[in-house]
Structure 1
């Protein structure tokens, strides 16, 4: 974890006031409280993205939260797809088939007893 000052240096000597504005706008969510923030690697990556959007791509302060929200949605969907792919992988697929067979057998057995 790094401090606000270190983050500002690492992302291109961005003024601390700018980063504080990003925190106030909830574009960044560091741990800690004002004056005692600690930033993780993901925070640094997001801050670099904000700098790139703002400075390199010319996206204004009104557009940045829109882009960040869309990217967050994209990454969330990607994580869900990865979890889904893992859930239906062959070993788990066989496990699921086994559970379904057991359930069907128990339902069949219960029906036969009626």
Structure 2
């Protein structure tokens, strides 16, 4: 875990005040309280994503919550699909996997 100051050093393109604004908007959810935030690697990755969206892709501040929400939904769907895949693979011997494959192939047509 790292402090807000260390995160600013690592990111180079964001101030502590900006990061605190992102925390207030719940774009980043570090542990701790104001003045004592601790950031996990996932928080740093999220901050890098926000910077990329803002600076490289020129997504404005008003659109960022929508884009972040949609990305969160995509990541959640991917996690759910991995769980479904794992459950299917665990029961592959009973024919369930083959039935689901057929249903998915029909859906793609």
For the aligned pair, the TM-score class normalised by the smaller chain equals 0.7 to 0.9
Match of 1:75 in 2: 75
Q: Which structure 1 residue ranges, 5 or more long, are not aligned?
A: 98-114
Structure 1 residue 18 corresponds to structure 2 residue 10: no
* Stretches (4+) displaced over 4 A: none
Match of 1:65 in 2: 65
Q: Which structure 2 residue ranges, 5 or more long, are not aligned?
A: 95-109
Q: Map of 1:1-114 to 2, 5 A cutoff?
A: 1-89=1-89, 91-94=90-93, 97=94
Question: In 2, distance between residues paired with 1:66 and 1:13?
Answer: 22
Question: Offset at 1:13?
Answer: 4.0
**Alignment RMSD:** 1.0
Question: Offset at 1:88?
Answer: 0.7
Stretch deviating more after TM superposition (31-40 or 11-20):
11-20
